[in-house]
Structure 1
Amino acid sequence: MALPRKLKNLNLFNDGNSYTGVAKSCTLPPIARKMEPYRGGGMNGPVKSDLGLSDDGIQFVWKTGGLDLISLRQFGAVNASAVLLRFSGPFQQDDTGDISVVEIVVRGRHENIEMGEATPGEDTEHSITTTCSYYKLTVDNEVIIEIDLLNFIENVNGVDMLERQRTAMGL
């Protein structure tokens, strides 16, 4: 029986700035599809049609300790891919000791910055929600998923999911 890979540590980079000792946690972006049920004559139940990515978009939520001037200065960025964030974390399997390096790169802009509660002598944190136009998940140097919303790119496990649609549209 094998043990699962568990996150042992993490680092976050914001436009190349290391958040070692500053990043407290990251909620890795959920990726979801928009599905619509269809049931026609002769079908005993619905089959969901895949209509692309979810309308909820791709969001990366992360927390920092203390005052984070870098993200505050980025707030209100006009470009939909203005901010580059990179999560890096070792996931270790305790029965073998093997480590998988997981990296998530996103580009987007901050939708929400919660400054948190300010109490003298207590810890403070910022909670930042970054809405993303680009997402790439890499495990052990292998790109698993890459989504570039602005350039109509969606690659999953090496398969270009939108190639035929781009061709049909003359792109």
Structure 2
Amino acid sequence: MKITEKTKSYSAYLNGSTYLGTAAIELPNLESLSEVIKGAGIAGEINSPTIGHFGSLGMTINWRTVDPSAIRLAEPQLHAIDFRIASQTLDSANGQYSTDSTKISVRAMPNGLTLGNLETATQTGTSNTFEVNYIKIVINGKVVLELDKLNSIYIVNGTDYLAAERAALGK
């Protein structure tokens, strides 16, 4: 059995090739829009998710200083950002370690820039916040998740859960 243990290293790139620098990333949380369903035939309430529809997808990039990349990412335009990740994996059957490759691609619009604090011999706490409208996760060359809010695409492990919705709407 393969056990993914940890992120060994990662890097961030703008538009696929411009290295962004050293930063800590807070990736978005995917939380379905939902509605409480209750009534005849239901013993209580059900918080029913709307398949493929999600609330706001916030993302934060935390910098150690007022970095030029932080200023560039504050430009009011959609940014294509890739996070390339090397994960340490243990094969429990043979005790061998290997490295898995993950790529997370987002398209995000900036909605905040925190410049942080200035104090001698400390980090500033500079950060960018974004609204993500597209995210794609590829692990070892296989697309495992793709969400495109603007084009009604929600694919998980090869199944497009919004294909029928697009067809019903003539998209």
Please tell me the TM-score bracket, short chain as reference.
0.7 to 0.9
Partner of 2:65: 66
Partner of 2:27: 28
How far the C-alpha of 1:64 sits from its partner, in A, is 2.1
Pairs aligned (count)? 165
Q: Distance in 1 between matches of 2:38 and 2:83?
A: 41
> Which structure is higher in strand share?
2
2:43 corresponds to 1:44: yes
3-state DSSP of counterpart to 1:164: helix
2:11 corresponds to 1:6: no
Q: Distance in 1 between matches of 2:3 and 2:139?
A: 18
2:110 corresponds to 1:114: no
* CA gap 1:73/1:99 in 2 versus in 1, 3 angstroms: closer
What 5-or-longer segments of structure 1 have no aligned partner? none
- Counterpart among 81, 88, 103 of residue 84 in structure 2: 88
Q: Distance in 2 between matches of 1:154 and 1:165?
A: 11
What 5-or-longer segments of structure 2 have no aligned partner? none
2:131 corresponds to 1:135: no
Partner of 2:163: 163
How far the C-alpha of 1:4 sits from its partner, in A, is 4.1
* CA gap 1:100/1:72 in 2 versus in 1, 3 angstroms: same
Q: Deviations over 1:143-167 (max 9, x none)?
A: 1111111111111111111111111
How far the C-alpha of 1:67 sits from its partner, in A, is 2.6
Q: Distance in 2 between matches of 1:150 and 1:43?
A: 34
Q: Distance in 2 between matches of 1:100 and 1:47?
A: 38
* CA gap 1:70/1:4 in 2 versus in 1, 3 angstroms: closer
Q: Distance in 1 between matches of 2:81 and 2:11?
A: 11
Code of the residue aligned with 1:144 in structure 2: it is V
Q: Distance in 2 between matches of 1:102 and 1:125?
A: 27
Code of the residue aligned with 1:88 in structure 2: it is R
* CA gap 1:131/1:38 in 2 versus in 1, 3 angstroms: same
How far the C-alpha of 1:76 sits from its partner, in A, is 4.6
Give the TM-score normalised by structure 2: 0.85
Q: Deviations over 1:106-149 (max 9, x none)?
A: 01111111111112333334211121111111111111111111
Q: Identity, % of aligned pairs?
A: 23
Contact kept, 8 Å, 1:23 with 1:62, in 2: the verdict is no
* CA gap 1:119/1:141 in 2 versus in 1, 3 angstroms: same
3-state DSSP of counterpart to 1:122: coil
* CA gap 1:96/1:45 in 2 versus in 1, 3 angstroms: farther
Give the TM-score normalised by structure 1: 0.85
Partner of 1:75: 74
